[in-house]
Structure formats: C-alpha cells, structure tokens
Amino acid sequence: MLAKDSKIYIAGHSGLVGSAIWNNLKSRGYNNLVGRTHAELDLTDQYAVERFFDAERPDAVVLAAAFVGGIMANSLYRADFIMQNMKMQCNVISNAYSHGVKKLLFLGSTCIYPKDAPQPMKEDALLTSPLEYTNEEYAIAKIAGLKMCESYNLQYGTNYIAVMPTNLYGPNDNFHLENSHVMPAMMRKVYLARLIHEGDWQSIEVDMNKRPINPGARLREKIGEGNVDGSSSHDRILAALAYYGITDNKVVLWGTGSPLREFLWSEDMADASVHVLLNVDFKDVIGIEKYSSVMYGVDASGAVDRNNSEGRGGAIPSLGEIRNCHINVGTGKELTIRRLSELVARTVGFDGEIEFDASKPDGTPRKLIDVEKLHSLGWTHKVEIEEGVERLFEWYRQSLKA
C-alpha cells in the first residue's frame, strides 16, 4: 500500500481515465499528485521526460496517456498510432525504472486480443492469432507496453502492473467527430441531427463553438479551408456535418451495427485502477513462489536462493514461462452497436432514422473480456450501461454550458 503522502505522477491526468483516476485518488486522501498537460510535457520527447523525472522523482506512476481514436482515426493515422504510443511508453517506463519508481500502473486496451479470440477473452488469449486489422498499430503498441512492464518485472524485480480496460466512456470524454470512440461520437451525431431537425441553430452554434471541426484534407476539398465553428455559415456547418453522416433527423453510422461491444464507465475504470495500484502487486498476479524466484534467483537445485539479491527472471528454465501477467478490466457484459444506438437515441430524445453503412468496416465482431482475474483480486464494476449513457449525455449537455 502506498503511503498517503506518496508522490504519484499521473500521465494523461486531464484525459478521460486519467482525470477520473486523479479524482479517485484525491477522494482517498492521496493529495501529493503530479500532472502535466501535453503543452507542459511532451511524453514523446525522451529528454523532456528525463528532465521531468529528474525534477519530480515520483514514488509511483500511472501511465494513462495515449494517442487514441475510433475506427476512422485508426485507419487514417496508422503511423501516428504506433509511433506516438511507443515513444510515450518507452520514455515513461524506462525513466520510471532509472529513477527508482516503486509502483507503475500501465493502462492498455482490450484491442490487444486477436480478432477471432475465443469469447469471453481471457488474458492468455494474447498473441494466439492475428489482430483486427483496423486497430493493429494501436494494439501492437499496447502489447509492447504490457510486455515492457512484464519484462522489467522479470529482469529487475520491479512492480509494474498492466491493466487492459474494455471500451471506456464517461466525464471528459472526447466528442470529436473524427477522432472519438464509438459512444461519444454516436451521441454527438444523434444530438446534432435532432437539433437540425428542430431548427435549433442557437444550440448547434454553441455545440460547434465548443467543439469546432478542423477539416482534414478530404473534407477541405468539399468545404474549403478553415475550421467549422458556430460562426460559420449554416450551409458550411450542414455540409461539414453531412460529411460525418449527420443530416436532418438522420444519422449514418459505420458498419452493420452487428458487432458486440462491452462498455465500462470511466469512473469505474478509475476505481479499478486505483484498487490495483494500492492493493495488487506483481506477486499477486503470478504467484508468490514464482515472484520469489524472480526476485532472488534460484540455486543449482532450482530452489529459491534468498542469498542472491539479483533476480534472473525469465532466464531460469525451471520457472517455466511467465507471461500474460496483465489484468482485464471490464463488466463481462455486452450489447450490439445497433442496440447501443437505440439506447443513445432514446436517451438523447432522438426519434429520427439511424442508418448503418455496411460498406464501412465493422471492426472486431465481438470483444467481450473475461474478468475473473479482476474479480479474484477484489474488484467489480458498479455502473450499468443504461445508467452510464444517461450520465454521459448529462455531462455532455453540462459541458456545453461551461
């Protein structure tokens, strides 16, 4: 257990999960928290990260920062997804080790699992068959991150834990029409289609001013240069929204609507993360005897040699293979994207048409995770999807007033 005065650095503290983890730690009396915005610290800059660790010397690190997005973003920015995430992970994890960080929590994603993994997906499904192509680069980066944690533990006896959350949603979510995940993107599209139908241009302008569209090359070909915000002409706003499948009382969503997805409220994810950070060690994940072998090494007979303080980790054949030490975090429940769209529409008060464009990719057919390991470590989710969607829409509406 980390002492209440421990200095904890939360990388990505202003994001969806990072902000929730920050608030959760505060509520538990952990007030010595450190955060930096991207403008203050570029985690892809090796030397900037090293200078930060030199100055701050945190006791624990939560690596919640990531370059993320949905199917469209993953398709458009494949190089960015692998390179940006790999740089951040390498810089933070290597500096955590070189600066003697006692505990590190790495946040990954369940997209690490193969496209056709048996459902629900257990931790040991990792690397058993090919990944889903549309998010392959992001998945590879996250697999590298969890393997870094695992490998540092096995070689150096560190205490780095990797958690793999399912699809997350909640306060401070990203509602960008191109780079957001499925639920916030869907919610904003449905909301704007309703406003167009109602002719509520005041609300549309408020929404567009809060979250303007920075057109990519393809959209610029249609509407010209410059951001689209509340001051843009109505015709330009409508043209931009139509590009994203948003028209008068109608929304077009990618795929068939048949894929099954599991969703976890971000504040539940934060609670699970903090529970693991404070209560779960590497020894709890792999077993105490194996952990002792990693920490101390073994003698010629294969017994733990506690006089040897330099653990030799995975180099000891008698230990067998130590892998898949990460922890799934989710609800163990799922629904189709079509069912989700109906739930969002009802919550938003949208009675228009939702159309699915089957010419666009669906992504992985099903992504339900097995959460037995997490439950055995003492944590279960609290917020069900119906309540969570209502909470998210209320947060979104309040964000427009800020």
**Is-cis flag, bond preceding 130, omega within 30?**
no
Domain of residue 242, CATH code: 3.90.25.10
Distance set, CA 197 to CA 87, 190, 232, 249, 255 (Å): 45, 11, 19, 5, 24
Return the CATH number at 150.
3.40.50.720
Q: What's the pLDDT score for residue 307? A: 52
Same-domain pairing of 83 and 15: yes
pLDDT recorded at residue 293: 56
Co-location of 78 and 161 in the same domain: yes
Q: Are residues 111 and 235 in the same domain?
A: no
For residues 33 and 61, state if they share a domain.
Answer: yes
Residues 202, 346: one domain?
Answer: yes
Which residues of the chain fall short of a pLDDT of 70?
Answer: 68-76, 288-319
Run of H or E including 200: none
Helix (H, G, I), strand (E, B) or coil at 260: strand
CA distance 345 to 348: 5
Q: What is the pLDDT of residue 217?
A: 83
Rounded distance, CA 381 to CA 331, Å? 6
What stretches of 199-287 show up as alpha helix (H) in DSSP? Answer: 201-210, 217-223, 234-243, 266-279, 282-286
Query: Is 69 within a domain?
Result: yes
Same domain, 201 and 280: no
Beta pairing partners, 17: none
Q: Contact, 167 vs 261, CB < 8 A?
A: yes
Residue 1 lies in a domain: no
Structure-token pair, residue 120: 């629900």
> What's the CA gap between 115 and 59, in Å, rounded?
37
* Residue 239, both tokens: 């043209």
Name the residues annotated as catalytic. 138
Coil, helix or strand for 8?
Answer: strand
- List all residues 6 or more positions away from 203 whose beta carbon is below 8 Å from its beta carbon: 195, 400
In a domain, 373, yes or no: no
| One domain for residues 225 and 251 | yes
Rounded-to-integer distance, Cα 81 and Cα 143, Å: 13
The answer to whether residues 80 and 204 belong to one domain is no
pLDDT score, position 305:
54
In a domain? residue 376? no
8 Å CB contact between 207 and 246: no
Residues 79 and 140 in one domain: yes
Q: Are residues 275 and 136 in the same domain?
A: yes
Residue 141 lies in a domain: yes
Question: pTM of the prediction?
Answer: 0.86
Query: 3-class DSSP state for residue 376?
Result: helix
Asked if 269 and 356 sit in the same domain, the reply is no
Q: Report the pLDDT value the prediction gives residue 62, as an integer from 0 to 100.
A: 98
Domain range holding 225? 182-260+333-367+383-399
Residue 3 within a domain: no
Q: Distance between CA atoms of 284 and 243, rounded to whole angstroms? A: 50
Total domain count for the chain? 2
Contact by Cβ (8 Å): 134, 361: yes
Domain termination site, one of 303, 329, 355: 329
Q: CA 184, 195, 349: angle at the middle one, nearest 5?
A: 65
- Specify whether the backbone of 133 is left (phi greater than 0), alpha (psi in -120 to 50) or beta: alpha
Tell me whether residue 284 is in a domain: yes
Pair 244, 274 in one domain: no
Residue 141 and residue 233: Cα distance in Å, rounded?
Answer: 41
What is residue 70's predicted lDDT score, i.e. its pLDDT? 62
Report how far residue 345's alpha carbon sits from residue 187's, in angstroms, rounded to the nearest whole number.
8
Distance CA 84, CA 67 (A): 6
- Cα dihedral 64/65/70/74 (nearest 10): -130
Contacts of 179 (CB under 8 A, 6+ apart): 68, 69, 70, 72, 73
Q: At what angle do helices 78-98 and 46-56 cross, to 10 degrees?
A: 30
- Is residue 46, in this structure, part of any structural domain at all? yes
The letter for the amino acid at 219 is: L
Q: What is the pLDDT of residue 363?
A: 78
In the chain, the amino acid numbered 350 is F
